[in-house]
Chains A and B, each alone.
Chain A
Amino acid sequence: MLNLTQSRRDFLRRSLCGFGSLALLALLHEEQARAQAHDPLAPRPPHLPNAKAKSVIFLFMAGGPSHLETFDPKPLLNRLHGERRPTEFGEARYQQITGDARLLGSARRFARHGQSGTEVSDLFPHMATCVDDIAVLRSCHGDMVVHSAAQYELFGGRTVPGFPSMGSWVVYCLGSESRALPAYVVLPDPQGALEAGQPMYMHGFLPAVYQPTMLRSGPQPVRNLDLPPGVTLSQRRETIRLIEDLNAASLPPGDEELSARIRSYELAFRMQAEAPRLFDLSGETRPTLDMYGVGAESTDDYGRRCLLARRLVENGVRFITVVSGGGPANMQWDAHHDIEENHVRMAAKVDRPIAALLRDLKQRGLLESTLVVWGGEFGRSPEAQAGRGRDHHNLGFSMWLAGGGVKGGQTIGATDAIGLHAVEERIHFRDLHTTILHQLGLDQDRLNYLHLGRQERLTLVHGRVIPGIA
């Protein structure tokens, strides 16, 4: 706590040297302690001791990547290719395909990698080199088999929109480590939006301060950070000084809310001054850029965004979602028509950048404090759709976790022999949420907010920490 106050005072002094006024200084001195309580983004300690993770990077594979082509080899499925699903595997409800569908074997080759011998398909040759840092979860399942509702459940724990997403919850509880950057950032795929739309990333009923910042592609990723045309920085500095002087002059003593508003202008100015530098990748070395695949056609976009994610984490951003896939189904991992065509193409965009991100975080000593989550809103059906495609499938699929105190080099859970149902160590989205919170030192029960007469949580139904994950 002492440290916190100290650094806060430093920060105030530093920012005041830039453009503050004396009236403010006196005010801030007096108000400092109370202001802390009035600052919704002040860093707060986690609930649990010894939490490892401070930040989360969610590599969201939108549309639902196939477990059968990536992390969950099913030799029996290949043997049963073209046949009907044997009844002993039970029932499944798909969005599109109906009862007479035939099983579809996988064309991918799997091999064991690393010291752990984790099985990864040849879609991900780069990721395969990182398996000793990765815990593959083969038994994930959710409740919905359609995109929008499944995406809401993955992000917010409910199959309906209107509830805060993981990122908002985490910032609500832990505050922000960064004063120059937004605490919760989404890097959407510039190719297009997703079915669940913006509400999936949103803060729901939490105060607007916990909303995500949606980064745009291009030179000015954050809205309103750039000055309007025709306005110079020195001019704007004068304007802000005027605003501060007028607001400070009419500030009644002891007014916490208005003091907070005055401080928000300092933060805004700081963000404006410092954030653009963080978004500028030109300071990165060539080897780093190459490692992420920046400059190579298929990996340039996702590589840039993964690299940006690392820079954001380095600067204390709490929660970052990097979306792969956007726009029409086949521009996502939503391979209804041809699993091979879709997944080869999609994997080629993300494989190298993701491996680079893990390696880069590790060599900078950031992987221990950064939980990396990989996965989509569901997996894909063992049965074929339209001959070579796979339908949505929510009953058993793979995700993975790395860093943030997670024990790498392991594979947790299992689906049945054709990848239809998760059968061992079943992991529901709520268990994933509970685990993410736990790695951040948060207790799902203490992370709540009174809304419409209920203490709402991220996990509506209690989740459990995935056994053996740490």
Chain B
Amino acid sequence: MNGYGINPRKASLAMLAQRLLALCVCFCCAANGYTDHWSFAPRMQPQPPRFTEGAQRAWVRTNVDAFVLARLLEKGLKPAPPADRRTLIRRLSFDFTGLPPTPKEISAFVEDPAADAYERLVERLLASPHYGERWAQHWLDVVRYAESEGFEYDNYLPGMWRYRDYVIRSFNDDKPYDRFLTEQLAGDLLKDEGGRMKDELVPADSSFILPPSSFHVAAGFHRLGPVRRNVGNQNVAFSRNEVLTEMTDSVGMVFLGLTVGCARCHDHRFDDFTQVDYYRLQAFLAGTQEHNVILADAKTKAAWEAVAAPLQKKITDLKRSITTAKGTDKERLQSELKAVQSKLPTPLPSLCSVRDVDTERTEIHVLRRGMPEKKGKRVEPGFPTQLSPLAGRASDGPADPSLARPANKGRVAPTIGKTPRTALAQWLAHPDHPLTARVMVNRVWHYHFSRGLVSTPNDFGVNGSGASHPELLDYLANEFVRQGMRLKPLHRMIALSSTYQQASVHQHVDAAAARVKDPDNRLYWHFPRRRLSAEELRDAMLTAAGRLNLKAGGPSVVIPLQKDLVDLLYDPAQWKVTADVREHDRRSIYLIAKRNLRPPFGQVFDQPDLQTSCPRRESSTHALQALELLNGDLANRLAEAFAKRLEQEAGAKDPARVVDRAFLITTGRPASVAERERCVAFLRRQPAREFALAMFNLNAFLYVD
């Protein structure tokens, strides 16, 4: 029983949700001795089920299938037939690169006689530089990546785009996940091991005061939350608490897959123990302060300061005079201030990172109701009780190894020394950590199948969904760890499976009956169709129009928006459109992520709001989307370009060829006879631009089967 007089094991989730609203339920339950919540327990060592029947054995291509098939058979469900090659290449291309396959790629694959054509396609896509661009977007969603601070000023975070590039590079390099998380949690504390940024701003031979490395960029992770800054009286403790809350909650959601975020709330009825866990986690970050690393050598920096310092002094003086001045005097001083400010040299390039400052370490107290003025007892960094000490594999396990659930024997958590964040990273990166690997493999599964084995990827707590296939989840996590926490082997295991290669629901021989048994397809009796994300949709339209600029990396692009939209910014001058128009056609991941102004195209198609972690995108359907694709500026401009391309490639005189080409480019397949007839008739009466626009509005374009 817990402090609320209910037994969490028996209480319904709804009841718990209500009683423990806004409470980090998982921690609460942990604190109350709810020790066997599955996700806190060590991973099982499940063995893939074996099949003797011929067709079943043939269906099992990777061990993923064995686990999936076992559950299907249990329920009397049959998998869908395999999807055809056109469907598969379109599915794989969007899934791995976020881009449609080209007509050339499609025909090459469709006509490839080799037995390993599919395997080679998967390998090609995994090796594509666009793989990182696609999968980085998923990660950026989870960490609520944005390049401005939000709130009133919404200032740009200098050089934050480097973090985006760092993530892309990490995915492309298939960086081991333990390394990836360590760099983000404690990159600023790592020794530079040759991971310097490949960047023209940092010449290899320059003498930096503090050599910036990609690790500093990675540690920018801690800077990604919205920050409230205000002029006037400062409530330092309150503001610091806001920052610490953002950082702590982010670590919880992103790496632990636990919703621990509560400290800001006002009616937490934490019992002491649970709060202690939360604040001990926060204490790892107590010394962490924002830090912008200047990207210039000592000489450049000195030269900059020689110009700037006298101006800065003048500004300070003027500001002081202004506070006491009156009337015309005040106005004169104000205009003088503006003049001086405009003379300041362009700030030196810098990047957003953090550092631990021992002298500025915040004393962490348990805060009653999360309020900084209601201090309880002081706490030091410590690992959550139920997850520590780390699980170890007991040597004397039960006879059936597939059921082995090893005891927490003999494992000691890392020592928390002078750099607590490093210890936190070590603790999370430990191969036996019960959550780290499970949470990450579940995210990967989620992006492949539009739903995780745990359908709440940021919540592995008791309020979360639980796993549809617990053995499969643990099996994947074990394999992930065994293969050095690299993602690409995991992708392979999934993409090469029969489960992944199934056709979507409408090809299933007995969909109606299957739907009754498993309406939500939780057991994967067909491949789940999905709508393209906002980014994929824009990139695919640019591709069709022949306009996509595939340049990789670098500062973010600010696209032109209508004035009335820019005016929704408190300071519209912040929206400085990128001068080079070719940049405006770059992939969506390179467009600026500004918290207080998101281009409507993304907003309409369920792009996340950049304020809180988004582990799972919504996929809504509404009239504003239709209006965007019918009347929107982007859709119409690109339809025009698409129409021109079609004329060039298929010839204006042969509408049937135009139609086939258009279908191939947008849907990956040629038009059916009926479709061709209908479209040709349309083209006789209407301009090609209208036809091209219609193609952007086809369900066969908007969805991936």
Interface residue ranges, A against B (CB under 8 Å): 40-41, 93-96, 98, 143, 146-149, 158-162, 182, 188, 192-199, 202-209, 211, 213-214, 216-218, 223-228, 231, 235-236, 238-240, 242-243, 245-247, 249-252, 254-255, 257-258, 260-262, 264-265, 267-268, 271-272, 445, 450, 452-455, 457, 460-462
Contact = CB atoms under 8 A, between A and B. Distances in A.
A84 B230 CA distance: 26
Among B228, B600, B614, chain A packs the most CB atoms within 10 A around the CB of B228
Contacts of A40: 620-622
Contacts of B691: 239, 242
B570 A195 contact: yes
- In the A-B complex, list the 8 residue pairs whose CB atoms are closest, starting with the nearest: A162-B611, A453-B459, A197-B596, A268-B626, A207-B620, A453-B259, A267-B623, A148-B152
Given A193-B569, A224-B632, A257 B621 contact: yes
A454 B18 CA distance: 9
Nearest to A249: B674
Interface in B467-525: 505-506, 512
B606 A207 contact: yes
B450 interface: no
Contacts of B679: 242, 246
B627 interface: yes
A317 B611 CA distance: 28
B603 A243 contact: no
B699 A261 contact: yes
B620 A208 contact: yes
Contact of A95 (B232, B595, B700): B232
Contacts of A450: 456
Among B152, B253, B600, B609, chain A packs the most CB atoms within 10 A around the CB of B609
- Secondary structure of the B contact surface, majority rule: loop
Contacts of A98: 233
Contact of B682 (A199, A207, A238): A238
Interface string B11-26: 0001001100110010
Contact of A149 (B151, B266, B675, B678): B151
B22 A454 contact: yes
Nearest to A252: B506
Given A209-B621, A257-B621, A452 B627 contact: no
Contacts of A195: 151-152, 570
Contacts of A252: 505-506
Interface string B134-173: 0000000000000000111010000000000000000000
A46 to B, nearest CB: 20
B151 A209 contact: no
B623 A211 contact: no
Contact of A271 (B152, B619, B627): B627
Contacts of A236: 630, 690
Given A209-B620, A452-B259, A460-B267, 19 more contacts: A158-B264, A160-B242, A160-B264, A193-B569, A195-B152, A209-B624, A214-B568, A228-B636, A239-B630, A243-B697, A245-B678, A246-B675, A265-B626, A265-B630, A452-B612, A454-B22, A455-B17, A460-B22, A461-B267
Interface string B560-573: 00101001111010
Contacts of A193: 567-570, 572
26 contacts: A94-B233, A95-B231, A148-B228, A161-B151, A162-B612, A188-B568, A196-B152, A197-B152, A198-B569, A198-B596, A199-B596, A204-B611, A207-B619, A211-B604, A224-B631, A239-B693, A242-B678, A242-B682, A249-B674, A250-B700, A261-B621, A264-B621, A267-B622, A445-B18, A453-B459, A455-B18
Interface in B659-690: 674-675, 678-679, 682, 685-687, 690
Nearest to A247: B699
B458 interface: yes
Interface in B603-617: 603-606, 608-609, 611-615
A460 B267 CA distance: 9
A433 to B, nearest CB: 14
A199 B594 CA distance: 11
A226 B463 CA distance: 46
B632 A192 contact: no
Contacts of A160: 226, 228, 242, 264, 611
Given A261-B699, A264-B625, A460-B265, A161 B152 contact: no
A258 B699 contact: yes
Given A205-B612, A243-B697, A225 B627 contact: yes
A91 to B, nearest CB: 12
Interface string B220-261: 000000101011110100000010000000000100001101
B611 A199 contact: yes
A188 B564 CA distance: 10
Given A161-B611, A193-B568, A238 B233 contact: no
Contacts of B339: none
A191 B434 CA distance: 54
Contacts of B231: 95-96
Contacts of A209: 620-622, 624
A461 B694 contact: no
B628 interface: yes
Contact of B228 (A149, A206, A255, A461): A149
A209 B605 CA distance: 9
B686 A239 contact: yes
A55 B567 CA distance: 28
A208 B605 contact: yes
B461 A453 contact: yes
B458 A453 contact: yes
B627 A268 contact: yes
B417 to A, nearest CB: 32
Contacts of A182: 624
A103 B690 CA distance: 67
Contacts of A453: 25, 258-259, 456, 458-459, 461, 463-464
Contacts of A250: 675, 699-700
Contact of B698 (A214, A218, A235, A243): A243
A68 B287 CA distance: 44
B185 to A, nearest CB: 20
A231 to B, nearest CB: 8
B699 A146 contact: no
